[in-house]
Structure formats: C-alpha cells, structure tokens
Structure 1
Amino acid sequence: MSGLGFYPGRSLRQVLLALLFALSSLMVTQANGSTIFVVGGRAWVGEPLGNGSYVLMSVNSSGATIGLLTNGSLRIIYFIPSPSAQQGLTAPLSPPLNESSSVYAFTNASSDFYLRLFTVNKVSNGELTGPSRNVTYLGYPPYSVDFGSGINCSTTYISISFPSPPQVIPLPVYVNAGPSITKVTGRITLVSTVPSVPIEVLGPDYVVVPLAPVRSALYSVQVCSPVNASLGPINDLIQGLRFSGRYSYSISVPYANPITGVPAYRTGWCSDYAIYAAHALEEEGLSAEVAVGYIIQNGRASGLDYHAWLEAFVDGDGWIDAEVTPPSLTAAGGAGGVGGVLIGLVVSIPSLLALIVAFMDRVGWHR
C-alpha cells in the first residue's frame, strides 16, 4: 500500500507565503502541530494535500464544515451536523425493487472484473454491516494497494468513466466466476482521476472517496496465477453452490438468517450466498468477507448490476474474489438488485465522520 498519513508536497513556508499573498483576508498560524487558517473571522484546521492545496475543517456546536483550499480559493465541500463516533458502512440485506440509481459507469474492463466498493462482515437487523473505517491515506493519486500476490502476473490498464460523479471510486478486481480459482488480483493502482482531485482511502478494506467530483479514473491492475494449493474449501463452495444445479437464485427468501437458510432452502439472493460462503470458510479457519460492488456487463455497470460476492484471504495469495451465486443471475443480464444511490449515500457519511474524527484527534477538540 502507498505511504500512510498526510504529506505536504511543497515546503510549508512556500505554501504559507503563497496563500498570504493570495488572500488578504486569510491569516495563517500554527497550533498543536496543525496549520490554523482564519478566513473571514472563522478558524479552520488545515492539513496539506500537496500541490499547495489544503483540506480545511471548521467545527462548532452545530457541526463540522469541510472545505478545499486550492490556489488561494476556498470551496466548501461538506457539512456534517453534530459529529459523533465513527461508524462502519452498511448495505441492504434484501434488494429494494424499482429503485433508480445515480451510479452509471463505462469501462474498458472485461466481464471478468467487478467494480468493488467495500466489504461487509456482519448481518444485523436486515443490513450488511462493515468494520470501522479509519482514514489511512489522504492525498492525490497515484495510490496503490497490494491486494494479493501470485505468479505469472500481467498488468492491464483499466479506465472507467462516470456520467455522474460517484460517491466512492470503485476498485476493479478480478472475480473468479468459473468452477475453480484460476486468477488472483495483485497490485491495484489508482493511477489518476479526471480532474485530478485529492482522495481519502478508508481502511481496512480500501474504500476510495474523492474529495471533489471526478469524471473518470485510470487504474493499473495485476492479474496473477495463484501459488497456493490449499484452495480446496473455496473451490468446493463454488462448485457446490454455483455449479451443482441444486441451488437457485431468488430475491424473495423464506428465511431471515442466510447462514442457516441457504443450506436449508437452497435458494437466495447474491448477498445470501456470499454470507453463507464466508461463514463456511471461517468455519474452515480462513478469513472471509462479503464484497459489494458492481458486475461489469458489456463494458458498463449501473445500479441494476449491483452485486455481492465472496472475498477470502489465503496465505501466500492474499485476497481472492470468487462468484458463488448460481449462474442464472448473470445469465439474466443483471444483478436484479440494489439501487446504487442508496449505497452512495450510506458510504459518504461514515467516510466523512472518519475524517472528522481523525482531524479532531489531531487538534484535541472534543464535544
């Protein structure tokens, strides 16, 4: 993974001098190791992003305002009322029908790649819930993560355009959809965005959030052959759930708990199969989670292609993505599912809370 934390780019002296000459109403000072900007009588805590830009935050009793200072110009990005404890991400367990989507993307990636948003690892009150996210990186692309490893690796460049700016920039990952694991996603690099904007990356599963609207993204992705021979449990699940003919796909199920319901009724939605498979692998001693994102079909992905699949960690190979839902899902030409607008909304708020918490810790601010 790329270096963690904040980086200043140019020297602090150069940045401050440039800003002081650019804005007569801007005052700059230092406190508690952070840069404090005073704009129009209001104090802002600043963190350098490089290229002379800063993320600024101002907190009062009503909430927190976040802005982006670039070339001496301050632009307000978000307002979050009453900052509270950091939360994880959530996604609906069952798909709401007839839901429009604000997520639509065109890509040159093949259908072997899915667009991965984040992972979840728990089921609670009808929702999939992910772990807490910390801000692990704040800066400009390029940003790389060593997702997995293998042998005989090849690198491909993948471009994605967004007719509507996304709340989260998805990561393209190779998903094994056949009866056995044949490929592993290696290093993923977000090479650049258009326009070039700062990003924050939330851990532990690399949720990439742009701090300004983007129209496109360019990636380099390694695809490797696995080196580990102990893939039997994953292959057994793929073959038993997806290719045995004994399981069917349905968005309406007679059970509440996929872990017990899938083997009992042999039907379910994509998240049901992914949850059951992840639990089964954990029973075998492997780490596994449910990845959520979009299937790429005919070079595009939209809210109708929203999907959940299995992501398992194997020593020596890293995280491996696999399709465990019966193939009737993709044969029908869509995931039949969740509106991307819902996911975009639930992703944005926790990511900002994480950023606010990190900034408050740096300046010692408490409610």
Structure 2
Amino acid sequence: MRVVAASLHLVRLDLVHEFQTSSHRKGHLDHVLVRLEDESGAVGWGEIASPAAPYYNAENVDTCWTVAAGYLLPAVLGATWDHPAQVPALWRRVRGNEFAKAGVDMAAWTLWSGAAGVPLATALGGTRTEVVAGVSLGIEPTVDELLAQVAVHVGHGYPRVKLKIAPGWDVEPVRAVRAAWPDLDVHVDANGVYTESDDDLAALRALDGYGLTMIEQPFAPRDLLAHARFAASVGTPVCLDESVETLADLALAVHLQAGRVLNIKVSRMGGLTAAVAAHDAAQAAGWPVWCGGMHEFGVGRYANVALSALPGFTLPSDVSGSDKYYARDVVVPPVVARAGRVTVPTEPGLGAQVDDEWLAGTTLRSERFTAG
C-alpha cells in the first residue's frame, strides 16, 4: 500500500454539557482529523484527539499539527507498506508526540482495513460483537448537580460511572453517589493531582471504604514509586493512565507493582499499533484493561470501540454514545449506546463515514499534502 495524498482538518465541536477535570473546564473541543488516500483512491481517517492546552500531557493542538504536518505525514507519503503495524517505523526518529502519531497511525489502520474489506475490530484482533460502555463525569459546581448527572446516565443504562476528583472534591461526592446507588460500578480519576501529603493521602485512603472498582492515576505521571506505595496500602485497585505512554513504562509499572489495572488510551499510547501491544503485555502480566477516552469525535470513538473488542478489555470502556458529548458528530452513523452497550461495526474499515458536508462547516483550518 502506498499513500499518495493526505490532509489535516482542525475541527471544533461544542459539548452538550461543560466538562471539568482537576485542571480545567471546557465547553468545546478542537481535534485534528487526518485523512490518508492511497493510489487506488481508498481513504482512511484518523483523529488526533489533541488537548487544547498542555495539561494532560505536553502536547496541544498546535504542537500536534506542527508535528503531523512537518514530520509524520512526510514520512508516510510515498512510502510503501504491507500492514499498518509497519507504519510507526516510518517515523521512528520522532520522539514523543504520541497524540500526533496516534491520529496518523489510526488513519493507516482504517485505510488498510477498509481496502482489505475487513472490519477494523477484526483487523486489530477483536473477538466481541458488542462492548460495555461507561461514562466519565466531570467536577460539578455542587454535589446535587453531580447526582443529577449520574441519574441521567444511569437512566440511560450505563453500568459504570467514572467520577473526576481533585483535592477538596473527592470523599463527599463519592459518598453521595454511593449512598444513592449502592450497587453501581463506580471508579474515580484524579488525573495525577494528588501528592503524598498527609491530607491528600487521608482523602485517598478514605475512598477505600466505598467499594470503588478502581482509583485511577492519583499521583503525577512519572511518580510510579508513589503509586506503588499507595497501591500496597489500600484494597481498591490502582489504575494507571498518564503514567504509561510506552511499553517500557508498563513493564516498569508491573515490576514495581504500581497498579493492578491499565487504562489504554489510543492517543496516549501513540496509536492503535501501540495500544494492541499494550493490551497483549497487560494480559501477560495479569492486568485487566479498559479503553479510556479523550472526548473523541466519532472517528476516534469508533476506533476505541474496535480496540475494546479485544479479549483483554474486560472492564467497561469510555465508549459512550456520541450524543453524550455532541449534538451532532462528524460521522454517519454516530456511535450509539443501547442499555450501556455499543455494537461493534461489521462493515469494512472504521464502520462509519465522515460527513464531509458537516465537516466543512465545523472545520477551522485544513491543509492538503501530496507525495513528492
């Protein structure tokens, strides 16, 4: 396969409900969509689910565009490859920039699987026909407003709810949610903002008594020793997210027993190729995995659904329906969750078509590239 043309599209979608994490609040998202075209005219789409600011990791929309346009696409254009797992080797000299890499890698997978007439999930090694979806809820102005949001999504059939937490917004909201839904699958996500101070550790350890499925990323990404110490002191499994960007990170975390669960994000790991490898390594280590999200548009969300069809994804993934976040998605059909489950597409490639007319009206910037 030889890619002869590519384009980048900076797309903005408004959120139907503002979302707040421990670092910031957002009402819309700007993501970069990647389009690859081969010699036959076949097209594959990927998504750079780029953070707007360097709060989740060091990347943002501008850095992703620069790296994709200046380094990744020039490496891919005109190159010949037989399988998408070979594509990351084309940019092996580029360090880091995993979000940017993820979008181009994803586009290569959807291009190849579509041209081969194979569903993306099957191409990745998926075995499920549907995946269980969970929802991620941000920090709300009041506990009552949080309870209202939980009620909406439990009412829609979602079996798992993830709550964003931060110092001062942790024990009280968890206590309230658990009191209202004693049997609900609940876990919390700190996005690495806690420290090993007495107050922070007291709050985190207090969460151990609420029957949580996991406590996700309590400490800073590189602080695996803090995670290992905390994991040894509580019964609730610790899940790692930002700490694991590479397979070497995962191997070290397993060695240190810094957690017991892995959140695999396609964007954070640098693409579907790396995500599948992380799934395999986690399975070998006995760590259950689930697919986390970055509020992806439909392109990235369908890719997450396909990845979640792999056998090691035994926990609910962040693949809720498009309507949870956006009034209208960029793909047709949008991702739909019924009773908290999403059907894995059986059509070749991504399983949905990008709505070109709608995309044109939501695109802030675009650029086309050709081989040579």
TM-score bracket, normalised by the shorter chain, equals under 0.3
Question: Rg: which structure is higher?
Answer: 1
Q: Relative contact order: is structure 1 or structure 2 higher (C-alpha 8 Å, sep ≥ 6)?
A: 2
More strand by proportion, 1 or 2? 1
Name the TM-score, length of structure 1 as normaliser.
0.26
